Structure 1
Amino acid sequence: MAITLYDLCGRDERLRFSPYCWRVRMALAHKGLGYETIAWRFQEKDALAFADYDKVPVLTDGDTVVTDSFEIMRYLDRAYPEAPVLGEGVSFQRVQFFKYFVERSVTPALFRIVAMDLLAAIHPDDRAYFRETREARFGASLETVHNPEQGRQQLKQALAPVRTQLQESLFLDGEAPSGADYLLFGSMMWAYTVSTEQLVEESDPVSAWFARMLEVHDGVAEKAITIRDL
Structure 2
Amino acid sequence: MTIALYDLVGEDAGRPFSPHCWKVRMALAHKGLEADAVPTRFVEVASVEGGTDRTVPVIRDGDSVVQDSFAIAEYLDDRYPDRPALFGQPGGRGLARFVEGWSQRTIHPFIASVAILDIHAMLDDENRRFFRESREGRSGRPLEAMQDGRTPERLAEFGKALEPLRATLKRQPFLAGDAPMFADYIVFGAFQWLRIASPFVVLEGSDPVAQWFERCLDLHGGLGRSVPAAV
The TM-score, its normalising length taken from structure 2, stands at 0.93
2:37 equivalent in structure 1: 37
- Partner residue of 2:200 out of 188, 197, 200: 197
- In 1: Cα distance, 2:183 partner to 2:96 partner: 6
- In 1: Cα distance, 2:228 partner to 2:206 partner: 25
RMSD of aligned Cα (Å): 1.6
Q: CA deviation at 1:51?
A: 4.2
- Shift of the 87–151 alpha-carbon distance from structure 1 to 2, 3 Å rule, reads farther
Q: Deviations over 1:56-110 (max 9, x none)?
A: 1110000100001110111011011221112463221111111100111110011
SS in 2 for 1:33: coil
Residue identity matched to 1:190: W
1:58 equivalent in structure 2: 58
- In 2: Cα distance, 1:183 partner to 1:197 partner: 21
1:163 equivalent in structure 2: 166
- Shift of the 17–84 alpha-carbon distance from structure 1 to 2, 3 Å rule, reads same
Contact 1:170 1:209 in 2 (8 A): yes
1:179 equivalent in structure 2: 182
1:138 corresponds to 2:117: no
1:220 corresponds to 2:223: yes
- In 2: Cα distance, 1:73 partner to 1:52 partner: 23
1:206 equivalent in structure 2: 209
1:117 corresponds to 2:114: no
Contact 2:7 2:16 in 1 (8 A): yes
Residue identity matched to 1:10: G
- In 2: Cα distance, 1:219 partner to 1:94 partner: 26
- In 2: Cα distance, 1:151 partner to 1:15 partner: 28
1:94 equivalent in structure 2: 95
Q: CA deviation at 1:2?
A: 2.2
The TM-score, its normalising length taken from structure 1, stands at 0.93
